Amino acid sequence: MPRTEHGHPNFQGTWFFGSRTPLQRPKDLASQSTYTEQEVRALEQRMQMRLDNQAAPLDPSRDAPEKGAVIRQEADDSFLAHYLEPVVTPIAGEYRTSVIVDPPNGRIPPVREEFQDFYAKRREMGLGAADGPEGQPLSGRCLIFGAAIPNLTPMMMNPNLQIVQNQDYVMVMTEMVHDARIIRLGDDHYEDGVARWMGDSVGYWDGDTLVVRTQGFRPEQSTSRMGFRVSENFVVTERYTLTSDDTIHYAFTVMDQQAYGKTISGERTLTRNPPEERLYDFECHEGNYSLAAILRGARMEEVQAELQQ
Q: Which residues contact 223 (CB under 8 A, 6 or more apart)?
A: 137, 138, 146, 147
Tell how many helices (H) and how many strands (E) occur in the chain. 3, 12
Residues recorded for the chain: 309
pLDDT in tens, the chain (309 residues): 889 999 999 999 999 998 889 999 999 999 999 999 999 999 999 989 988 887 788 788 988 878 887 766 555 555 666 667 788 899 999 999 999 999 999 999 999 999 999 888 999 999 988 999 988 888 778 788 766 787 888 777 788 999 999 999 999 998 887 888 999 999 999 999 999 989 999 999 999 999 999 999 998 888 766 678 889 999 999 999 999 999 999 999 999 999 998 999 999 999 999 989 888 887 766 677 888 999 999 999 999 999 988
Structure confidence at residue 19 (pLDDT): 84
pTM (global) more than 0.75: yes
The neighbouring-strand residues paired with 205 are 210
Instruction: Give the DSSP H or E segment for 40.
Output: helix 37-55
Q: What are phi and psi of 218, to 5 degrees?
A: -80, 145
- Taking the CA atoms of the chain, what radius of gyration do you get in angstroms? 22
Structure letter (DSSP) for residue 144: -
Contact 40, 88 (CB under 8 A): yes
Structure confidence at residue 182 (pLDDT): 96
Contact 269, 248 (CB under 8 A): yes
Within 13 Å and on the Cβ side, how many CA atoms surround 298? 15
Cα angle 139, 142, 143 (rounded to 5 degrees) comes to 85
Q: How far apart are the C-alpha atoms of 105 and 35, rounded to whole Å?
A: 14
Q: How many CB atoms lie within 10 A of CB 36?
A: 10
Taking alpha carbons only, the member of 208, 10, 31, 192 closest to residue 106 is 31
The neighbouring-strand residues paired with 35 are 95
Q: How far apart are the C-alpha atoms of 195 and 173, rounded to whole Å?
A: 19
If DSSP codes are grouped into helix, strand and coil, which group holds residue 55?
helix
Question: Residue 98 is which amino acid?
Answer: S
Structure confidence at residue 116 (pLDDT): 92
Q: Which residues contact 191 (CB under 8 A, 6 or more apart)?
A: none
